[in-house]
Amino acid sequence: MASYEKIDYLLRPSKQVERKLFIETLQKLAKAGYYIHDYTYFGLGSIYYADFILFHKYLHIDSMICAEIDLIPKRMEFNKPYEFIQLMMEPVSQVIPKLDRGKKHLVWLDYDFSIHEGILSDIRSCIHVLAPGSIILFTVVSDMRSLMNSIDPPEAIGLTEEQKKERVAPVLNELIGIHYGEEIKTKDLATNRLPKVIAKSLRNFINSCIVTREGLKFFQVFNFRYRDNLQMLTIGGVIDYGDSEGKLEQSGIYNLGFVTQEEEPIQISVPPLTIREKIWLEKNLVQLEGHLADNCTLPESMPFESEVQPIKNFVKYYRHYPSYYETLV
């Protein structure tokens, strides 16, 4: 089943927070000489085109390319929100060589599966073709279950769940071990550790790909992990000349709490909330923030149950938390 069949893209609150964090950061970059509104956005829209709509509305991008491989050309064309989106019913690997090398791009390859050769190949291709100043974002599923399911048959046939779990580390070692820099062990695949393994491997991989682009460097800006359903990891940043550090610094992005140059991803998961819950949390933000700074439990006054980390993240990212109401059209 394609991921758009499972859930309306807009209804995933953490994904929506991620999109808005991108926007906030890119708006800052725009003021420091990265004129994002002149960029071409290249993404995987699916039938909802959620990122396309947001990036047009808030970043004023009006040159956009959408790649789609599912055989739904009519549906993709029908749902296209803007005329200027160029829809390409081709695999990403076929679209990348056609990107204009003289133009800056904002690229978000938001995959709905876990890391495999094809993703590494697409990343490598992007690094090779994108003009200096371009911004790249790569999102992959970073979840043990999904990795277990991605073990290729015939290897996977007849394996028990436990055996499959044990196969994941060797499979990952073969795929990204040399980029991770040390042997990936089964204990590294725990939910809280796996994102870092993937993030570190991907960023080392990007750095090793960029050496063939003379004078260019990858400046990491984004390293997120979050979960609506499956745990996701996003690594991203700017491809630019080696001396761009100052320009990036000046933009103020490094003062944003969710921008990191570290290997350890920042957790941005927010909880699914009812409207009543959301309103209560917003009303009590100051008090909550104070409490959470000193304690590692939620205050007694909380009128509903929740885990601590999602509430902490809500307090951080409440401005980006989406509101949903039923719309009768």
Partner 1 sequence: MSPADKAESFVTKSFLIDIITRDIGIMDAILELVDNSLDRAVEVYKIDVTRSLTEEYNFTGDLRLPQPITVNIHVSNNEFTIEDNCGGITRVDLEHEVFIFGFPKEGSEYTGLSAFGIGMKRAFFKLGRMVELRTRTGQDETAITWDIEEWMNRGDEDWDIPFSMIEDSRLHFNYELPGTIIRIGNLNSSVKTRFDQTEFMSTLKNRLRTSYALFLKSGIKIMLNGEELTHSLPSFFTSDEINYTSKYSREKDVDIRMIVGITPIDDRMPRGWYVFCNGRMVLEGDKTHLTGWGTILPMFHPKFNHFLGFVSFSSFNVKALPWSSTKWGVELDSPVYMAALEEMRLQAVPILNILDRWKDIRDDDEPAVTALRELLKEGQTVSVFASARVESRFAYKPKKDRPDVVRISFVKDRELVQRVKEALGNPRMNNSTVGGMVFDYYVESEMD
Q: Which residues bind partner 1 (CB under 8 A)?
A: 90-91, 93-94, 96-98, 117, 121, 124-125, 128-129, 211-212, 214
Q: Give the Cα separation of 66 and 90 in Å (integer).
A: 9
Are the C-beta atoms of 310 and 281 separated by less than 8 Å? no
Residue with smaller CB distance to partner 1, 123 or 233 = 123
Residue with smaller CB distance to partner 1, 212 or 229 = 212
3-class DSSP string for 71-93:
CCHHHHHHHCCCCCEEEECCCHH
- Which helix (H) or strand (E) covers residue 126, if one does? helix 117-129
Q: Which amino acid is at 168?
A: V
Minimum CB–partner distance for residue 56 and partner 1 (Å): 27
Residue with smaller CB distance to partner 1, 22 or 205 = 205
Residue with smaller CB distance to partner 1, 127 or 270 = 127
> Residue 40 forms beta bridges with which residues?
105
Minimum CB–partner distance for residue 209 and partner 1 (Å): 8
Minimum CB–partner distance for residue 4 and partner 1 (Å): 16
Minimum CB–partner distance for residue 172 and partner 1 (Å): 18
Residue with smaller CB distance to partner 1, 94 or 229 = 94
Q: Give the Cα separation of 105 and 136 in Å (integer).
A: 8
Minimum CB–partner distance for residue 94 and partner 1 (Å): 4
The label of the residue with tokens 């719309």 reads 327
Which ranges in 161-304 belong to alpha helices (H)?
161-180, 194-209, 245-250, 275-283, 285-294
